Amino acid sequence: MMLRKLLSIYENSILFPDQPMTLSEQFYIFFSEMDNEWIGIPKSKVSEKELTLLQTIYQLVEHPPTIRNSATKGWDAYLLDDGPPPTYHAKSNLRFIQFQINGDDTNQLEIESALKGFFTEGIIIIWENKRRGVIIEEDTIDLLTEEELISMSETIESDFYVKIAFFIGKFNSFNDQLRSKFLLEKEYFSFGLTNLDSLMNIFTFERVLPAYVAFHLPMDLKPKIHQGIFEVFNDDPEMYSTIKVFLENNLNASLTAKKLYIHRNTLQYRIDKFIDKSGIQLKDFYGAFTVFLACLLFEQSQKR
């Protein structure tokens, strides 16, 4: 029933009782396991954000990616199609760096070549679809830092005129739990793309988890967390952004003032005003944690 509701939202959508054998380049095809039905939605009707959201709810069925060959060494079948584990003999740990490209004209071969140019060691790149892929990297001495990944994303954006976001996974040993850990990181990545700052292009477990937890809190618990704090934010629209940026920058007043383009005295005035109105101190861990959680809940409430 949920899939059928999309017919009224997206004009010229088509519902299929069976998986369509031929997939038109003009449509996104989504499969609902609950309804056991497929729907085709015109690509022209779906924004980037809507596409990401639909992918978290339904399975996107696409044409086979142009790059799926022996170079992937069975990793594509294992991670994306629940195939058998690939043959892997190295003793080093692995991490998955997932990426998503937002752009109309994506040349996989050129972008893959550019990505490989940033890594000093051999990596494996597999493509889930035309815009989303996974870099498989072994734990070596010369690993890309978060700053280097930011530089890489900026270079790709300027060279190919596309936006690219990364999720940096944790290192794990090659074992039976590896695929489930990859799928969990994939879920965090999709959540971050849909729910966090649209300007953010580097995601990690630590950055996504607080918002993920806040989003999945029981509805009856949320008001108990933000009591008194929402009132302060609603009375003063600048207060929310000021406090959130202050907390995100580890309570560093100089850095916060610089990012907000305000004087340090102005920042301190707003912080003191918040503390006075909310009755919560920010200099201690428990107060900062509580207020940051309330900030995430407030941000979610504004998107409804």
The residues, any chain, with a CB within 8 Å of residue 80's CB and separated by 6 or more, are 126, 128
User: According to the model, what pLDDT value does residue 1 have?
Assistant: 63
User: What radius of gyration, in Å, describes the C-alpha atoms of the chain?
Assistant: 22
Question: Is 261 a residue whose pLDDT tops 70?
Answer: yes
User: According to the model, what pLDDT value does residue 74 have?
Assistant: 86
| Euclidean distance between CA atoms 118 and 144, whole angstroms | 8
Q: Mean pLDDT in the chain? A: 86
CATH of domain 217-302: 1.10.10.2840
pLDDT in tens, 110-150: 888 888 888 877 789 999 888 889 999 888 767 888 888 88
User: According to the model, what pLDDT value does residue 66 have?
Assistant: 47
Question: Is 165 a residue whose pLDDT tops 50?
Answer: yes
Question: Is 2 a residue whose pLDDT tops 80?
Answer: no
Q: Where in the chain is the domain with CATH 3.30.70.270?
A: 70-212
For 70-212, CATH number out of 3.40.50.720, 3.30.70.270, 3.90.1200.10, 2.40.50.140 equals 3.30.70.270
The tokens for 292 are 């940051």
User: According to the model, what pLDDT value does residue 70 have?
Assistant: 56
User: According to the model, what pLDDT value does residue 105 have?
Assistant: 65
pLDDT in tens, 200-255: 889 999 999 999 999 999 988 888 887 789 999 998 888 999 999 999 999 999 99
Question: Cα 136 to chain center, whole Å?
Answer: 18
Determine contact, residues 242/260, Cβ cutoff 8 Å. yes
Q: Where in the chain is the domain with CATH 1.10.10.2840?
A: 217-302
